[in-house]
Amino acid sequence: MAKVTIRDVRKAFEAVEVIHGVSIDIADGEFVVLVGPSGCGKSTLLRMIAGLESVTGGQVAIGDKVVNNLAPAERDIAMVFQNYALYPHKTVAQNMAFALKLRRTDPREIEERVGRAADILGLKPYLQRYPRQLSGGQRQRVAMGRAIVRNPQVFLFDEPLSNLDAKLRVQMRTEIKELHQRLKTTTVYVTHDQVEAMTMADKIVVMQDGRVEQVGAPLELFDRPANLFVAGFIGSPS
């Protein structure tokens, strides 16, 4: 059974439909990248999986549970954004612990989970620092730490690297992939950067104008693009 099932999903804002019946199956442990030009509906689709936008047609399921009517906190997901606003007056450890505290997790359990996440992300030496005392890459790692400590079934990333410089972006791609290899958490990752998609994905979903143009492994799309749009998009330099 798929971990995330998106079945003929539609989204309209007022009377304007922007997602026109999208279906995607995401397997347990898969790293799926949604890619496409700005405005094609990537964030909207991701936000519907997260429960941050309502679904105006079709179904979103996580595991065997239809989640269309569940609030974000009731879904077993954690999201990492592009503007990963950390709490400036909380330490790294407090930033990572916050969501667990809200959920009244046992303090010893919180300490253990934060310690483990810090270990995985190389943040052990920085736990007592404040966000302003960290580099861009370290802040990004804290944002991922906040997601990891929740131990969700699904990670959702919306262009998490677009505020970083080119060198750090390449490094963080590798780190996110290593993290995925270690935790094997099902991941949906949004980017408009086809190179990022090609290097990170198990499976790529190419979108245009609120529709899916093609779904496939990176090499499959490269070797056998379904149409001129996919060929042009995947083939062009970023």
SS3 211: strand
With respect to ligand ADP, which residue has the nearer C-beta, 20 or 129? 20
Instruction: Check residue 15 for interaction with ligand ADP (CB under 6 A).
Output: no
We find the least distance from the C-beta atom of residue 163 to ligand ADP, in angstroms, to be 15
Beta-carbon contacts of residue 119 (< 8 Å; ≥ 6 apart): none
Instruction: Check residue 39 for interaction with ligand ADP (CB under 6 A).
Output: yes
Based on the number of CB atoms within 10 Å of its own CB, is 15 exposed (0-12), middle (13-18) or buried (19 or more)?
A: exposed
Nearest residue to the partner Mg ion, using Cβ:
43
List the one residue from 5, 6, 30, 43 that touches ligand ADP (CB under 6 A): 43
Instruction: Check residue 41 for interaction with ligand ADP (CB under 6 A).
Output: yes
We find the least distance from the C-beta atom of residue 44 to ligand ADP, in angstroms, to be 3
Contact positions with Mg ion (CB under 5 A) in 37-96: 43
Instruction: Check residue 204 for interaction with ligand ADP (CB under 6 A).
Output: no
Q: Where are the alpha helices (DSSP H) in 14-165?
A: 42-50, 92-102, 107-121, 136-148
CA geometry: angle at 83 spanning 91 and 216, to 5°?
120
Residues 153, 63: contact at Cβ < 8 Å?
Answer: yes
Residues that bind ligand ADP (CB under 6 A): 13, 18, 36, 38-44
Residues that bind Mg ion (CB under 5 A): 43
